[in-house]
Amino acid sequence: MNFDDLQSAWKNDSGKGGPIPDSIAKIKSANLPLDKVRKNLRNEFFYQIIAIVWIGFLPMYPKFIAALDFWFYIFYTMFVSISGYFLVKLYLFYKRINNQDLSTKDALYETYYDIRLSIELYKTFTYSLMPFVLIFFGMFVLSLNQGAFEQMIETGDFPKSVGYQFAFGFIVAMLTIGFVTELWTHSFYGKYAKEIRKVIDQLKEE
């Protein structure tokens, strides 16, 4: 039953021109934040694909060490496989909420918890890619220090100066990714989930 049917049924019960139940209006108000989530998911899907493709061209960087190309694409293949799995999950989530009609309290509950679970899935996706960030960053640092790379190949020793750069850059990168992930999920999904939660809490009070 859609909102027009619900409104018609209420009018028939209450007399011509009767008011719309407050609970129906509240449930209907949850469609606005849900539309925002749908829109952000569509954009997110394309952003992620563009980012994945862009990373694949990193070895094209003039200073990138050719000897690392093979290992880069080995890890890049794993990176794409994991990314593809999570992107399929996000797409299926988008399909579910795109077909969702918030005309009942049960649908509202189901959609809210689906959004919350998908936010956690998104965070898991991001954090699972951190080891690859470490690997790609390490290759990039070595490419900027080709002398150190050659020394490491010849002697088997990893220069301390490069190690310090690597450790510092990795820590900064991890903290940045963590902060951006939390901020991104809140701004694009979390705050809209909270709006839907407010509607649910209002319905509980009735």
pTM comes to 0.71
* Nearest alpha carbon to residue 96 among 30, 41, 27, 26: 41
Q: Write down the pLDDT at residue 148.
A: 64
CA distance 28 to 130: 40
Longest C-alpha distance within the chain, in Å? 90
Q: Write down the pLDDT at residue 64.
A: 83
The low-confidence residues of the chain, meaning pLDDT below 70, are 1-28, 101-103, 146-162, 204-206
Dump pLDDT digits (tens) for 68-114: 889 999 999 999 999 999 889 888 888 888 877 666 777 788 888 88
Q: Write down the pLDDT at residue 28.
A: 67
Work out the number of other CB atoms within 10 angstroms of the CB of residue 4: 9
- Which residue pairs from 160-166 have beta carbons closer than 8 angstroms and sit at least 24 positions apart in sequence? 165/141, 166/137, 166/138, 166/141
Q: Write down the pLDDT at residue 167.
A: 78
